[in-house]
């Protein structure tokens, strides 16, 4: 066969080009290329508290009966296992401090997804044409920023403080957009409502109510939706118990809610769920049908089995105890090694997996910054550069996301000490 003299390049779609942010892949690669480096970057969960025995027990129980094993090992349905959706109704009602009857919540209101990430991505597909607008906190979850870019959405940051997104600033942003004739393009407000990745901040209760009201007020030519990402809801260590944004959306028209078992149980199982307003159920199901026509059935049945035993709750308590000790180790190390560094501040999270640290504005922290290079090459410690977590219109370059999920408390202390040495070189 004659080989052609010129092989033309592949003509990739716009969506592929828009998806080329790649920060998460770069970060993973850094970990692999620098094995001796202590990672305060990895967002993985604590390997020591993964539910090995519980999963072993419940899987063998699930598969012990042949007929049931055959069901579990078969394809499921697009919205997901009825066993798990049924079990999630009382599970969620309990989180809401309520009952399924009071909430009037049915299994059909839920969709099961491959982690909550899949729901985030399906919502992007369902709502955004290129140029449509999403309003986000600053900072926010950087993988979602990538998902927005990949559908050609325009992302606008709304002023955010230690109590989360500021409702006044949100109202002003929407008023400005209306004046510019752009309100019709604003489709979504995205909020990580509990212990945000990366800042650790939770949206204050009063603000939750106000933001839901604002989404209704500004639903003019089309409905302005809120995507409530409650990925860290169960990982609360102390402080206030927050009601969901969803609970303030009493007519169930504006809030799409998503939660995951990746953090509280196992990311390897990768089961998440969404609660959808009525008119999103079919579009999301249609998109998911094209995508995978149902997430891994066995994993869903395992989660249903685990929730049914009551051991789940004990497991979550163990996970929280472990993370509380790690968070405390990180905060104690911050106090020990950073408190004499002028212009260096950090948040005290009441849950989640992250401490957000800010440096003087003169010290950029990005992948290409001298600090990142010095931290990784010389002091053998890595963090997530904060700039990844800001939408393009409002990038701040002097922050770091520090995770306490993976390392032991001792190693967290060592990592923080090394990081403080790296920073001292630039003060």
Ligand X SMILES: Cc1ncc(COP(=O)(O)O)c(C=O)c1O
Q: Please measure the distance between the N-terminal and C-terminal CA atoms of the chain and give it in whole angstroms.
A: 65
Is 46 a binding residue for ligand X by CB under 6 A? The answer is no
Is 43 a binding residue for ligand X by CB under 6 A? The answer is yes
How far is Cα 357 from Cα 339, in angstroms, rounded to an integer?
12
Is 391 a binding residue for ligand X by CB under 6 A? The answer is no
Structural contact between residues 194 and 350, judged by C-beta atoms closer than 8 angstroms? no
State the nearest-atom distance from the C-beta of 99 to ligand X, in Å.
26
Is 229 a binding residue for ligand X by CB under 6 A? The answer is yes
Nearer to ligand X, 232 or 248 (CB): 232
Site string for ligand X, 180-199 (x = CB under 6 A): ------------x----x--
Nearest CA-CA partner of 353 in 327, 322, 315? 327
How far is Cα 308 from Cα 290, in angstroms, rounded to an integer?
31
**Three-state secondary-structure class, residue 381:** strand
Across-strand partners of 111?
A: 274
Nearest CA-CA partner of 185 in 169, 174, 194, 170? 174
User: With CB under 6 A as the contact rule, which of the stretches 81-89, 207-215, 259-267, 277-285 interacts with ligand X?
Assistant: 259-267
Nearest CA-CA partner of 42 in 58, 29, 60, 53? 29
The helix/strand count (H/E) of the chain reads as 15, 15
Is 141 a binding residue for ligand X by CB under 6 A? The answer is yes
How far is Cα 377 from Cα 365, in angstroms, rounded to an integer?
14
Is 39 a binding residue for ligand X by CB under 6 A? The answer is no
State the nearest-atom distance from the C-beta of 31 to ligand X, in Å.
15
Nearest CA-CA partner of 218 in 179, 250, 257? 179
State the nearest-atom distance from the C-beta of 113 to ligand X, in Å.
8
Of the residues 39, 81, 117, 199, which one makes contact with ligand X according to CB under 6 A: 117
Is 116 a binding residue for ligand X by CB under 6 A? The answer is yes
Is 115 a binding residue for ligand X by CB under 6 A? The answer is yes
Is 403 a binding residue for ligand X by CB under 6 A? The answer is no
Structure tokens at 291: 């995508």
Structural contact between residues 142 and 149, judged by C-beta atoms closer than 8 angstroms? no
State the nearest-atom distance from the C-beta of 201 to ligand X, in Å.
12
User: With CB under 6 A as the contact rule, which of the stretches 56-64, 74-82, 260-268, 379-387 interacts with ligand X?
Assistant: 260-268
Is 111 a binding residue for ligand X by CB under 6 A? The answer is no
Closest residue to ligand X, Cβ-based?
115
Find the helix packing angle between 311-338 and 52-64, rounded to 10°.
Answer: 160
Nearer to ligand X, 51 or 364 (CB): 51
Nearer to ligand X, 141 or 246 (CB): 141
- The residue with tokens 């105890």 is 321
Structure tokens at 195: 């212990």
Is 270 a binding residue for ligand X by CB under 6 A? The answer is yes
**Applying CB under 6 A, what is the total number of residues that bind ligand X?**
14
User: With CB under 6 A as the contact rule, which of the stretches 180-188, 266-274, 277-285, 380-388 interacts with ligand X?
Assistant: 266-274
- The residue with tokens 């959808």 is 276
Of the residues 231, 280, 306, 334, which one makes contact with ligand X according to CB under 6 A: 231
Is 273 a binding residue for ligand X by CB under 6 A? The answer is no
Give the binding site for ligand X (CB under 6 A): 43, 115-117, 141, 192, 197, 229, 231, 260, 262, 267, 270, 272
């Amino acid at each position: 066969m004659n080989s052609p003299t010129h092989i033309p390049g592949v003509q990739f779609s716009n969506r592929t080009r828009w998806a080329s942010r790649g920060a998460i892949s770069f970060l993973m690669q850094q970990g692999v290329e620098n094995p001796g480096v202590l990672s305060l970057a990895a967002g993985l969960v604590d390997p020591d508290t993964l539910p090995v025995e519980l999963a072993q027990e419940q899987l063998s129980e699930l598969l012990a009966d042949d007929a049931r094993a055959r069901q579990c090992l078969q394809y499921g349905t697009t919205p997901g296992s009825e066993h798990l959706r049924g079990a999630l109704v009382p599970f969620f009602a309990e989180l809401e401090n309520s009952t399924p009857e009071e909430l009037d919540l049915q299994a059909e209101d839920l969709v099961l997804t491959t982690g909550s990430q899949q729901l985030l991505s399906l919502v992007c597909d369902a709502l955004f044409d290129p140029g449509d607008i999403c309003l986000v906190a600053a900072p926010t979850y950087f993988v979602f920023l990538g998902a927005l870019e990949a559908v050609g959405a325009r992302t606008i940051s709304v002023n955010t403080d230690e109590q989360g997104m500021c409702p006044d600033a949100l109202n002003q942003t929407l008023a400005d957009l209306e004046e510019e004739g752009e309100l019709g393009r604003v489709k979504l407000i995205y909020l990580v409502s509990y212990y945000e990745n990366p800042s650790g901040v939770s949206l204050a209760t009063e603000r939750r109510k106000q933001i839901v009201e604002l989404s209704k007020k500004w639903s003019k030519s089309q409905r302005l939706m809120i995507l409530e990402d409650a990925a860290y809801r169960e990982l609360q260590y102390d402080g206030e118990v927050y009601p969901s944004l969803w609970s303030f959306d009493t007519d169930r028209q504006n809030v799409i809610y998503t939660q995951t078992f990746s953090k509280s149980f196992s990311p390897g199982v990768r089961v998440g769920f969404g609660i959808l307003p009525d008119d999103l159920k079919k579009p999301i199901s249609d998109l998911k049908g094209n995508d995978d026509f149902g997430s891994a059935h066995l994993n869903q049945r395992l989660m249903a089995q685990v929730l049914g035993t009551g051991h789940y709750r004990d497991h979550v308590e163990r996970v929280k105890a472990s993370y509380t000790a790690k968070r405390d180790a990180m905060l104690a190390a911050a106090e020990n090694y950073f408190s004499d560094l002028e212009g260096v501040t950090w948040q005290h999270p009441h849950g989640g997996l992250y401490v957000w640290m800010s440096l003087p504005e003169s010290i950029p922290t990005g992948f290409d910054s001298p600090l990142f290079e010095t931290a990784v090459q010389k002091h053998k410690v890595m963090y997530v550069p904060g700039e990844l977590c800001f939408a393009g219109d409002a990038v701040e370059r002097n922050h770091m996301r520090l995770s306490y999920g993976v390392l032991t408390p001792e190693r967290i202390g060592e990592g923080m000490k090394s990081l403080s040495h790296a920073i001292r070189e630039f003060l």
